[in-house]
Amino acid sequence: MENIRLGLIGLGYIGKIHLRQCQKLANAKLIAVADLSKKALKTANDAGVKKTYTNYEQLLKDPTVDAVIIALPTHLHTQCAKQAAEAQKHILLEKPIARNIAEAKDIITTAKKHAVKLMIGYPMRFEPTFQRLKQQILKRTLGDIEIAHATYISSGPFFHRAEGLTPNPVPEWWFNKELTGGGALIDLGSHIINLLRWYFGEITEIKSYLGYRFNMPFEDSAICLAKFENNTKAIITVGWFSQDYQLNIQLYGTVKTIQTQHKPLNKLLAAIQMLTIGSTKFYNAHKAELQHFVNSLINGKTPTPTGEDGLKDLEIIEKAYKNQIRLD
């Protein structure tokens, strides 16, 4: 393949980010999108995408589409990813890979059966700040990492979804545990667990304390204690309870301690970047992620993180749900 023709399924929050970043890719073009919302499809049309579908199955029948980006709610991942594999489309599937281990294995098996490449969307691995940490770990400039603190706090589904002057409601599926597979731990925790596994290898033990500030049927915060195969210990903190976005990593090594964070730009700088380049640099990792996917397809390589990575993350999360600590 010299040029990859992409299809995008789902134009919610993350789907719109992919829509913008796809316009900047080398050796790839977004040629088709699918979403139930005619308003969202018009946005894609205005961005230059000519083929729009209200049914993603019609997009998957398009023989000109080489690969798809699936940005649907978690409960739709399995059905859509399997159909994409059966249609011989390579797949970039948003995290978490699925709601549970059985679904994840089903997706992976179907992708292998039809010889399509499957990548899971974890943009943190493509964020330069966190890539530099990876290099320092490999070069051992910090010594042995004895303890890691990883924190990801945000407003979760409760961020302001304003379009114009009228805030949009939170999509109903967010509040159904059967559809999400869980709360903040599976949503934000999957990012952190995948990143730390990339740094330190496999997790051998994990326990969790889950918080229920908003009295929902799933956790809105979680603190996990994890131990890795290289003997590094980690404290993982995630939550949906704050409008103050925090994403930071602290590594305590035998030679040196380091702290780094990934923060959104202030509103003025973000507005300037939106006007001048069409998006903010905060989302550059999403472009790098997409470019890696495209480059892997062109060069016949396996893109990472793989479906197996997504499965391992989910296995650790399910173990954390089972191994709960009570503090009351």
Do 39 and 128 fall within a single domain? no
Do 233 and 292 fall within a single domain? yes
Q: Does the pLDDT value for residue 274 go beyond 60? A: no
Query: Is 327 part of any domain?
Result: no
Do 103 and 152 fall within a single domain? no
Query: Nearest 5°: phi and psi at 167?
Result: -65, 140
CATH code, domain with 106: 3.40.50.720
Q: What is the pLDDT of residues 107-126, one digit of tens each?
A: 999 999 999 999 999 999 99
Query: Is 328 part of any domain?
Result: no
DSSP code of residue 324: B
Q: Does the pLDDT value for residue 270 go beyond 70? A: no
Quote the tokens at residue 165.
């002057």
Do 153 and 178 fall within a single domain? yes
Residue at a domain's end among 70, 94, 121: 121
Per the structure, the count of domains in the chain is 2
Do 57 and 165 fall within a single domain? no
Angle at 63 between CA 61 and CA 64, to 5 degrees: 125
Residue 214, burial from CB neighbour count under 10 angstroms (0-12, 13-18, 19+)? middle
Do 117 and 36 fall within a single domain? yes
- CA 137 – CA 251 distance, rounded (Å): 9
Q: What is the pLDDT of residues 120-151, one digit of tens each?
A: 999 999 999 999 999 999 999 999 999 999 99
Give the lowest-confidence range in 173-187, 236-250, 258-272. 258-272
Quote the tokens at residue 140.
């051992």
Q: Which residue(s) pair with 223 in the sheet?
A: 209, 237
Strands 145-153 and 233-239: parallel
Do 81 and 138 fall within a single domain? no
What does the mean pLDDT of the chain come to?
Answer: 92
Name the pTM for this structure.
Answer: 0.93
Residue 76, burial from CB neighbour count under 10 angstroms (0-12, 13-18, 19+)? middle
Do 89 and 144 fall within a single domain? no
Residues of the domain holding 148 = 124-322
Q: What is the pLDDT of residues 185-196, one digit of tens each?
A: 999 999 999 999
Angle at 262 between CA 201 and CA 251, to 5 degrees: 40
Q: pLDDT above 70 covers what percent of the chain?
A: 91
